[in-house]
A and B are shown apart, each in its own frame.
Chain A
Amino acid sequence: MTPTQEAVERGTVDLSALDRSWAPPQGLLGWFRQVNHQNIGKRYIVTAFIFFILGGIEALLMRLQLAQPQNRLLNPDLYNQIFTTHGSTMMFLFAVPVMEGMGVYLVPMMVGTRNVAFPRLNAFGYYMYLFGGLFLYAGVFLHIGPDAGWFAYTPLSGPLYDPGKRTDFWAQMITFTEMSALVVAVELIVTIMKMRAPGMSLNRIPMFVWAMFIQSFMVMFAMPAVMACSGMLLFDRSVGTHFFNPAEGGDPMLWQHIFWFFGHPEVYIIFVPALGMISHIVETFSRRPILGYTALVLSQIATGFIGFGLWVHHMFATGLPQLGESFFTAASMMIAIPTGVQIFCWIATIWTGRPTLKIPLLYIAGFIAIFVIGGLSGVMIASVPLDLQVHDTFFIVAHFHYVLIGGAVVPLLGGIYFWFPKMTGRMMNDAVGTLSFWLTFIGFNITFFPMHILGLHGMPRRVYTYLPQTGWGDLNLLATCGAFILAIGFIVFVLNALSASQNGPAAGSNPWGSSNIEWSTPSPPPHYNFANIPVIRGREPMWTDPEPPVVTGLDDSRREVLVTNTLDAEPEHRYILPGPTIWPFLLAVTTTIGFIGTVFQMWWGVWGAALSFIPLVGWFWPRERPRPDLLESGCGSGGIE
């Protein structure tokens, strides 16, 4: 008998009441009112993959243009817009949001609660992300696509060298997406700190939750930097400030410092959640507890800290003093240590376990083979003299695709394969999965490995063409062929997921025999995640403690959750989460009006703020009074975020 059935029989849970109070609203209007983390998380993931496809199409266009020397497929203006949009899409509209989406979907389930801490804020964050992405692409289709690179170095992105609204669109898109990332970070941190199931003390937190926790803190510290600098750039361009204007004592170097203070942690913001996914996959398919849990957690925390200390390695060629550069060389090499330790731990887990090479684990094997190359080329470019040669060449393009695709996208695909049964209740097709893995793996290496060689042979990045005499044509053609194989691999994956979500074989609640509590609830999970919140008594509850005691006494007739303390997750009080509401959507609309308006006229900042006042009033309108009986027992905390 499952714990749920048992709970129903014992009368500690009223399933129909739970279902009524947690069911998301239906209909078109209902779609805009949903605040459940499962809905919002899935939206993040689906939207991010749509942007991933758009970014992929841009990548293919670039590869076609570079397939032969002096190709005239794209003119330089279009090429610059495409490579800028590709980079910005992949970083801001795919990689970060898709990880946030996985976090929003999985974290509440993994820590054993019913929703994220601030459900309405969560919905607001999603709409901001969606509108930001649509805004950027509206610009692209109007030929106002940004063309100064995803790094938008001043003065090239300044008013004289990048006239029109192109860079303004880019900078404002950053404001949108970073706002959404910050929102998710805040609510994940609070969810993880305060809403874990009883007994889930710090040393029992699942690895992915740790990863999202660390990532969220990184977001909190890194994203304000990029919002600040893109805001300063907007001001420079629209109201005549001189932050980056050399003629007036501003400094283009300032832009690089602030941008990379965000830009480097950004890489780890994408990478750390993937590390968390890997631990779960390795553990599940090695059929043993992960080896070196503490070492893995500490390594991730170390990555989070060191990640903020090496931004200058993007600027070695700017002519900074040598001593300063040496510090950043040391820091950049140091970050290889925690990453190395994690890889050793995973290999040791596989070594000492009883591995079954299911597809998610296959992805992890692919990850190690690819990512180690990226990590080692990263050690190379941490060295100042080597970086001076390969900086801004195709060697770097190869390096960071090895790190980001190898280190984040490949584990992400593995992770999606792994959690797909939980999200949809259906299994993906293994034969097709194997095919898509090998297409991706082979295509990836054919695309990006030759780029190392191209870079060493002197091919700079961000060039729209090259001369036939350079001899770069053959390897570029090879890379283009690889890119198409890679694209087919991704398409096969997406088709597999789409068809499995409709007709895949049904998955039980725990198809992989995994260890964590999100696998204790049916697949797909009910709106309330768990009929009864389990009590956690070990690090691998599904293996060591399949029938745990459960929490009782939560009011099923409203959205009540349990708040526990930070260290040991001891119950503190009950908390009522808000239900469906339209206000987050309306607030996102008014904020969007303000943001888009300010691109053209700064006064729109004021109009937008004034407009936003209305939905904010609605949002904060007091609606729930504490029940007298709860007041008496001292448990009547309010329901306002």
Chain B
Amino acid sequence: MKWFAGAQSVLDPAGPQAGRIHGLFEVFLWVAIIVWVLTVGAMLIAFWKKHGGERHDDTTKRVVTACGVITVAVLLALLVASAVTGSAFATVPSNNVMNIEIRGHQWWWEVHYPDYIPHERVTTANEIHIPVGRPVRFKLTSDDVIHSFWAPNLSGKLDLFPNRVNEAWFEADRPGMWRGQCAEFCGLQHANMAFWVIAEPPDKFNEWIENQRKPGVMPSTPDQAHGQEVFLNGPCVVCHTIRGTNALASVGPDLTHLASRHTIAAGTLALDRGNLAGWVTDAQRIKPGNRMPPVNVPSKDLEPLLAYLESLK
């Protein structure tokens, strides 16, 4: 997984939505800097200038009034700028929009790509693949408490409520990976409830979604077969789904294509065998309070289990 500075930053917009806000931010920032310098400058001069002489309170009052009027004018201008940006921001493009449904859980993200045809629907977790240059509309809801969906490089945040569906949209104008994070305090692991947005050229995206539609890969080596057995006969199956097997529970993330993801534990750990082993055996040390129980896998079963999980491309 490639991390780089600005993978989760307001200041490095990667799409029109975040770009609009960034433009507005620069306007506000410059106004703020100028106003601050003027105010504090006036204050410093007020202290250091030569005092005494005759006082002209009426003139001073006129100056104060003028400053007040200028304040009103500047605020009005900012208000108009904000309203214009806000209106553009809220307008969802009408054609060629892709829909994604996000369901927040304590403390991970369930991602659905809806489709009219049932077996074309895709469910994944904590990683959102989107095609570059195509607007994506998100339907956001929550399974438990309030969360907030926020990928700063792409757009502002929107809350996920348990009793309603909120809609947001954004678009990526270049390929790349950006990190997002829950922004509404949601309990013990609020800090580690992240996700990745992966923008790809349309053909690569189609390739990805085609793969996601397939059921889980069948084990191809005896080791993996043993691992699958461990998975299906152990505690894993109580919470997780691997399509194409008997594992059909929806308490935890769908693992059908686990190995095609870059991270586990809601964007917290890179997906490699060491992290996977640590997560499976003692997730509570990594994210205390999360829903994944420590799993007591005998060492002879652990390696095959990991091999199986890593084969789920």
Contacts and interface: CB of A to CB of B under 8 A. Distances in A.
Interface of A: 75-77, 80, 148-149, 153, 155-156, 161, 246-247, 251-253, 288, 291-292, 295, 317-319, 322, 325-326, 329-330, 333-334, 336-337, 340-341, 343-345, 347-348, 350-355, 357, 365, 368-369, 372-373, 376-377, 379-380, 382-393, 455-458, 460-467, 469-471
Contacts of B145: 153, 155-156, 161
A319 B159 contact: yes
A343 B68 CA distance: 10
Contact of B57 (A317, A343, A352, A469): A352
Contact of A380 (B32, B183, B189): B32
Interface string B30-48: 0110011001101101110
Contacts of B102: none
A174 B194 CA distance: 33
B146 A392 contact: no
23 contacts: A76-B191, A155-B146, A155-B162, A156-B146, A161-B187, A317-B184, A333-B79, A334-B75, A337-B71, A347-B39, A347-B46, A351-B42, A352-B55, A354-B52, A355-B47, A368-B40, A380-B28, A389-B157, A390-B10, A391-B157, A460-B181, A463-B191, A465-B192
A382 B155 CA distance: 17
Given A379-B32, A388-B21, A326 B75 contact: no
B286 to A, nearest CB: 10
B119 interface: no
Nearest to B164: A319
B185 interface: yes
Interface of B: 3, 5-6, 8-11, 18, 20-21, 24-25, 28-29, 31-32, 35-36, 39-40, 42-43, 45-47, 49, 51-52, 55-57, 60-61, 63-64, 67-68, 71-72, 75, 78-79, 81-83, 85-87, 89-90, 106, 144-146, 148, 150, 152, 155-159, 161-164, 166-167, 179, 181-192, 268, 288-289
Contacts of B164: 319
A392 B82 contact: no
Contacts of A322: 86-87, 90
A318 B140 CA distance: 11
A54 to B, nearest CB: 22
A375 to B, nearest CB: 9
Contacts of B87: 322
Contacts of B64: 291-292, 295, 341, 344-345, 348
By CB atoms of chain A within 10 A, which of B64, B148, B188 has the most? Answer: B64
Contact of A317 (B31, B46, B157): B157
B40 A389 contact: no
* Interface SS of chain A: helix
A376 B89 contact: no
B46 A391 contact: no
B183 A386 contact: no
A134 to B, nearest CB: 26
Given A292-B64, A337-B68, A379-B75, 4 more contacts: A329-B83, A383-B85, A389-B156, A458-B179
Contact of A76 (B57, B167, B289): B289
B181 A458 contact: yes
Contacts of B75: 333-334, 336-337, 379
